[in-house]
Structure 1
């Protein structure tokens, strides 16, 4: 069995530390393959049960070194230097490609249907389109999870047609409204400033200067949008960005870019002027040298040397 080094959330690590492979404390888990909400490509996820009523989904990402690397774990050497990172992901994002697969192709909103009907339709279509790249059993397992059922309310319009019957219809507008809350949360709290690279870029652009508080807030919001858009299909990403007014920030960044280009251009002119000055000096030296060379070629036969004019004359 291949061994890998991975980074997992603290609660899973705690459960592993407290329990063992045969201990019931260790949460039941399994790997599933689902469509990524942005690319639509099959990706690997880990589902595990925090409790009988709570299932969490983790995205599995692999970071591979450019050159060959290995890990040393105790006395064991693991030849595969890849690092696996497992991070929680909102099930609502994973529902988007599943629900969109059931939408009419004519651009209409479609009709309200019970959740079971929508998921049955999605499984039928995705299993045929993906050629079993996304296993039917994985899609079925995901849509039956309690976390997926609860997430329906975040990305769908709902209607109560009876006391025990609720129907749903996917809504891009509902998706945008939902992720806007995530953007506001991410940009309002010091989550973005925890990244040193992002903070350095903001400081380099002068957004931490006094009087630019509004632009700094807009920049943080734009960064939050870009991060969340990594988990949205292109239409929903465009709608999310269009729901904010980044006009002042865009104008500021454009002006900053133009100033940088002007500085670079002026720096180039200064270098060119210096080269031209050095070139003129060289040409003058060269011209003088040519005159000397002509004098060297002149016929001096019979001419007195210049030194004779300074000799003491005999009386």
Structure 2
């Protein structure tokens, strides 16, 4: 029985038809999802190839499952859909999916390989031997203690990696981040290049950090406002003028905000890059090898750290001024009441902690006894 799910799709998406036909592109099988390792975590993730409606070019959608903590349902006309999850389909740059493939095959050891060899080698590697779908994963803390399905045996090829390699224009994408050796006409070997990769990612960050593009992403502008910098909207311009009147240089403030936008834009790429690649990209923004990335922003954020209060001053008698002031404080109401209590005939507290003194004493009958002095 077919189930109903609610999904969000981009506008410019042309999905394959339900029935296969000879006119369907080989790289876009009808309704075929790809299960590939996530480029950062390596955990299985779902992707869907599609065609762009405006020009027919191939692209990839990442599928994210937005599930509420408690059970929910949808109302569709007169029907109640028990599955309250929401599937969000968002375009993803295919290069992010290609990076783990290239790194696993051409980076360690560094070597040139033909495109077909790259994907066939990756398909049979342990990194792409994913657990079967719809089973509990050992890395999922919510499923801790439950039965976990064993991974598939090594040596089994992942067809989805081969489909990624057969996507339209994949070699053109690889040329953006790879060194290329032309072997013959129509035949080339590829090797991942850190220099080309950083250059490609920096161009992506630069486009995101442009003011008109930056302001389209609420998560980015919120991150900027969280650091007290705001965005350069109409309100931000007013803030700039105000700070300039207070004696701050306008050029320095604009440079700081531009650097802050770069930093926030960089954070958008972090979920799609391995820690090694993200560190490589982040370090490329350092002015020199001995300085930290984003020096203006780093200096500004350090200035926001609260200054510790000064140490208490010492009085002439040797005690601190704080302790001398505490001696002059009025007693509390409870202490004042105890001071009025009649303590005549009562033993003092220190009497219970004195040492006992034992001495001999003559008693009647000539016998000796003991007398305890307290």
Q: Identify the TM-score tier after normalising by the shorter chain.
A: 0.7 to 0.9
More helix by share: 1
1:217 is matched with 258
Report if the CA contact (8 A) 2:40-2:275 is conserved.
yes
Unaligned runs of 5+ in 2: 131-150, 231-238, 241-249, 287-293, 310-321, 344-374
TM-score (norm 1): 0.74
Q: Does 1:183 align with 2:186?
A: no
C-alpha change, 1:285 and 1:172, in structure 2 (3 Å) is: same
What's the offset of the Cα at 1:53? 6.3
2:153 pairs with 1:152: no
8 Å CA contact 1:157, 1:170 repeated in 2: yes
Q: CA deviation at 1:239?
A: 0.5
CA–CA distance in 1 between the matches of 2:229 and 2:49? Answer: 41
The residue number in structure 1 matching 2:351 is none
| CA displacement at 1:126 relative to structure 2 | 4.7
What displacement does 1:168 show?
Answer: 1.2
Matched, 1:79 2:82: yes
Give the structure 1 partner of residue 39 of structure 2.
37
- 1:75 deviation in Å? 1.2
Residue 64 of structure 1 is matched in structure 2 by: 67
Structure 1 segments unaligned to the other structure (5+ residues): 264-272, 296-315
TM-score (norm 2): 0.64
Does the Cα contact within 8 Å between 1:101 and 1:126 map onto a contact in 2?
no
Cα distance in 2, alignment partners of residues 104 and 205 from structure 1: 38
Deviation, 1:154, is 1.6
Q: Is the 8 A contact 1:68 1:81 kept in 2?
A: yes
Q: Which residue of 2 aligns with 1:305?
A: none
**CA RMSD of superposed structures (Å):** 3.5
Deviations 1:244-268 (A, max 9, x none): 1312211211221x22x659xxxxx
Within 5 A, what are the aligned runs for 1:1-315? Answer: 1-12=2-13, 28-50=30-52, 54-103=57-106, 105=108, 108-110=109-111, 112-126=112-126, 129-130=129-130, 131-132=151-152, 136-208=158-230, 209-210=239-240, 211=250, 212-245=253-286, 246-256=294-304, 258-259=305-306, 262=308, 280-281=329-330, 283=331, 285-286=333-334, 288-290=336-338, 294=342
CA 1:36 to 1:152, structure 2 compared with 1: closer, same or farther past 3 Å? Answer: same
1:205 CA displacement? 2.8
Q: More displaced, 197-206 or 55-64? A: 197-206
Higher relative contact order (CA 8 A, sep 6+): 1
Q: Against the structure 1 CA distance between its residues 11 and 94, is the aligned structure 2 distance closer, same or farther, given a 3 Å change threshold?
A: same
Question: Kindly tell me: are residues 294 and 41 of structure 1, through their superposed partners in 2, closer, same or farther at Cα, counting changes over 3 Å?
Answer: same
Q: Is the 8 A contact 2:96 2:272 kept in 1?
A: yes
Shift in Å, 1:193:
2.6
CA distance in 2, matches of 1:227, 1:31: 25
Change in CA separation of 1:11 and 1:29 when aligned onto 2, cut-off 3 Å: farther
Q: Is the 8 A contact 1:29 1:49 kept in 2?
A: no
Q: Shift in Å at residue 137 of structure 1? A: 1.6
Contact 1:102–1:118 (CA<8 Å) still a contact in 2? Answer: yes
Secondary structure of 1:213's counterpart equals helix
**What are the superposed Cα offsets for residues 28-63 of structure 1, whole Å, 9 maximum, x if unpaired?**
442111121111222100112347962211000011
Q: How many residues align?
A: 275
- In structure 2, relative to structure 1, the CA distance for the partners of 1:223 and 1:104 (3 Å cut) is closer
